[in-house]
Amino acid sequence: NAGVTQTPKFRILKIGQSMTLQCAQDMNHNYMYWYRQDPGMGLKLIYYSVGAGITDKGEVPNGYNVSRSTTEDFPLRLELAAPSQTSVYFCASSRRGLGTEAFFGQGTRLTVV
Amino acid sequence: KNQVEQSPQSLIILEGKNCTLQCNYTVSPFSNLRWYKQDTGRGPVSLTIMTFSENTKSNGRYTATLDADTKQSSLHITASQLSDSASYICVVSSNSGNTPLVFGKGTRLSVIA
């Protein structure tokens, strides 16, 4: 099992560009999450999903969009990149909800210039 | 405000020595507390979970304690190894609100030979 796979690992965007961060899990988990981790700060929840077709906002959703068309995939979309979105993004999944053990991907380091 | 505070911010110890990392929280209502290990450039990996009724739990050389009355937890690492060098993140789960998971900023541990 690969677990949670994120692509790309690194990306540099110009202000105003768009991109999609890909996330896939092969553990048949219903719950999936997107977090961002800023230097010296704790992880912040951006969006989460409790199953295919269901998504909900987390703590810091502004500037992002998500979709969940399948159990396996949970892409994160940045429409108009801003320098404030420079961060490391982690996708995670869990068998049950928030508070249960989450399995994280390796992260995507995004720089917006 | 729900918060998780970790100390120290960073720590350097010699290989073979023990160390203790601290986590204080104000999250309410409390569901559980989990310690994650995050290697550089990787996603967090769960080490141990503590529920309200548990005082101590071990996972190999890692021992976590929880005092729900004082809202404090500690992670004790015994006979440290070079591979223990990582960030250790305390995460407290609540049963309600838009921030059901509150992440600490982590303690950066460096084990040197």
* Confidence band for A1, pLDDT divided at 50, 70 and 90: low
Mean residue pLDDT across chain A: 94
Find the mean pLDDT for residues B2-28: 95
Closest partner residue to A98 (CB to CB) among B42, B44, B100 is B100
The number of beta carbons lying within 10 Å of the beta carbon of residue A53 is: 11
Find the mean pLDDT for residues B35-56: 92
- Is residue B100 less than 8 Å (CB to CB) from chain A? yes
Q: What is the pLDDT of residue A97?
A: 78
Find the mean pLDDT for residues B1-29: 95
Nearest to B36 by CA among B96, B104, B82: B104
Find the mean pLDDT for residues A91-112: 90
Count of residues in chain B: 113
Find the mean pLDDT for residues A22-48: 94
C-alpha triplet A85, B45, B37: angle, nearest 5°:
85
Cross-strand bridge partners of residue A99: none
Report chain A residues whose CB lies below 8 A from the CB of B106.
Answer: 42
CA end-to-end distance (rounded Å), chain B: 41
